[in-house]
Amino acid sequence: MDINRKSKILVVDDNEFNIHLIASILKDKYTLNVAMNGKDALKSVQQDKPDIILLDVMMPVMDGYEVCRELKINSNTKDIPVIFLTALSEEEDEMRGLDLGAVDYIVKPINPKLVEKRISNHLALKYHRDNLELMVAERTRMLTLTQDVTIESLGNLAEYRDQETGGHIKRTKNYVKSLALNINSNQRFKAVLTKDYIDLLTKSAPLHDIGKVGVPDSILLKPGRLTDEEFEEMKKHTIYGRDIIAASEKSLGEESFLTLAREIAYTHHEKWDGSGYPEGTKGDEIPLSGRIMAIADVYDALISKRVYKSPFHHAKALEIIAKGSGTHFDPDIANTFIEHENEFRLIALKYADFDEERSMLSIN
């Protein structure tokens, strides 16, 4: 509602004298529209939405109560304040109007100063309510933007630290989103995988390897396979990732937008049978976010080129994931991955880093 324009008022009454009286009171301060029956009032509201409605109760064909009921069941008109104008003065009549959603009830004969003051008050309330909704929407937008920038900044930190993370981050983020959407039909996961959860899970996925910033260069950037000792050090990236994100969470509280990111960073190397790391957690004790990320991360590692290996063919990667169902991976998530394997192949193809990877993702 623009505070600098004249507010629009719809006056609904089948009595011309009452309309002229109300018009004489309000015409200098407000823009007025008039309807002399309920049906015309509903048409007028659809054509030119008013800021407030003055509604007579006793009208032929369609009384004011019926008009109010129609307005309140329509999502486009339900928030328009309605003030009843009526000769009825019984308490039960007033309660009926208020129960239907009216904001006020003025009994005829009309007191001009009272009508003007009540309209002014209700318009002021409507303006503040509308303005509050805009403020809340803007605040929500800014909070979402802050979340996105925070996660992106942390993700960029990991990307600059590890030369192999660029395409990996894009691919795994999209794998996670696709996988979450596809397993959402499974009753095991439906209650958890709300739209908000999936959105945050997708945003958080790029932080799964943030802990690699704590791994020494000699190990992280080594152009070859790691020794057993080096691999033990590399495994600590899950702990580093958890601690980095946990430190950022301190001022946000226990359940912040970074909670999923922390879960993913810490648990995406756990295995369904308990043989993973860092804690050896198994089964449903592994957070769902970590179980989803585990498949996305392994698939991408298999189909990607590394200094110590060539990319696997898509079909070979599927074979390995299928073999790991029930041991490495949650079987329901692994089965869903296999069922929708072409979605993941196309994601990998879109964000492939090397021609050699693209050739291994083609359909032979």
The edge-to-edge listing of strands for the beta sheet with 82-86 is 31-35, 8-12, 52-56, 82-86, 104-107
Which residues are within 8 A (CB) of 272 and not within 5 positions of it... i.e. 6 or more apart? Answer: 282, 283, 286, 291, 326, 327, 328, 329, 330, 331
- Predicted pLDDT of residue 127: 84
Question: For residue 89, what pLDDT is reported?
Answer: 62
- Predicted local confidence at residue 255, as pLDDT: 66
- Out of 39-53, 157-171, 180-194, least confident range: 157-171
- Residue entry with tokens 């190397």: 269
Other beta carbons within 10 angstroms of residue 290's beta carbon come to 23
**Does domain 162-361 correspond to CATH entry 2.60.40.420?**
no
- The more confident residue out of 85 and 297 is 297
Average pLDDT of the chain? 88
SS3 55: strand
**Whose CA is closest to 54, among 74, 22, 78, 82?**
82
Other beta carbons less than 10 A from residue 240's beta carbon: 18
Tell me if domain 8-134 and domain 162-361 are identical in fold: no
| CA–CA gap between residue 150 and residue 117 (Å, rounded) | 49
Mean pLDDT (whole number) for 245-271: 86
Write out pLDDT tens, residues 115-142. Answer: 888 898 888 888 878 787 778 777 877 7
* Predicted confidence (pLDDT) at residue 236 exceeds the cutoff of 70: yes
**pLDDT, mean of residues 170-179:** 95
Fold of 8-134: Rossmann fold (3.40.50)
Q: Residue 171 and residue 296: Cα distance in Å, rounded?
A: 8
Determine which of 46-55, 126-135, 297-306 has the lowest per-residue pLDDT on average: 126-135
- State what percent of residues in the chain have pLDDT above 70: 93
Q: Chain-centre distance of CA 256, in angstroms? A: 15
User: d(Cα 228, Cα 230) in Å, to the nearest integer?
Assistant: 5
Nearest C-alpha neighbor of 30 from the set 95, 134, 104, 122: 122
Vertex 98: Cα angle to 92 and 103 (nearest 5): 140
Q: Is the per-residue pLDDT at 4 higher than 50?
A: no
Domain spans, the chain: 8-134, 162-361
**pLDDT score of 102:** 87
Confidence of residue 8 (pLDDT cuts 50, 70, 90): very high
Which H helix or E strand runs over 47?
helix 38-47
What is the reported pLDDT for 277?
97
Q: Inform me whether the pLDDT recorded for 189 exceeds 90.
A: yes
The pLDDT score that the predictor gives to residue 253 is: 67
pLDDT at 40: 93
Q: Is the pLDDT of residue 67 over 90?
A: yes
6-11 average pLDDT score: 92
Query: What is the mean predicted confidence (pLDDT) over 2-19?
Result: 82
Dump pLDDT digits (tens) for 326-357: 999 999 999 999 999 999 999 999 999 888 88
- pTM of the predicted protein model: 0.64
pLDDT in tens, 190-206: 999 999 999 999 999 98
- Tell me the CB-side half-sphere exposure of residue 72, using CA atoms within 13 A: 15
Distance CA 100, CA 152 (A): 48
List phi, psi (to 5°) of 278.
-90, -15
Residues 303 and 307: their CA atoms lie apart, in Å, by: 13
**Lowest-confidence segment of 59-68, 160-169, 172-181 by average pLDDT:** 160-169
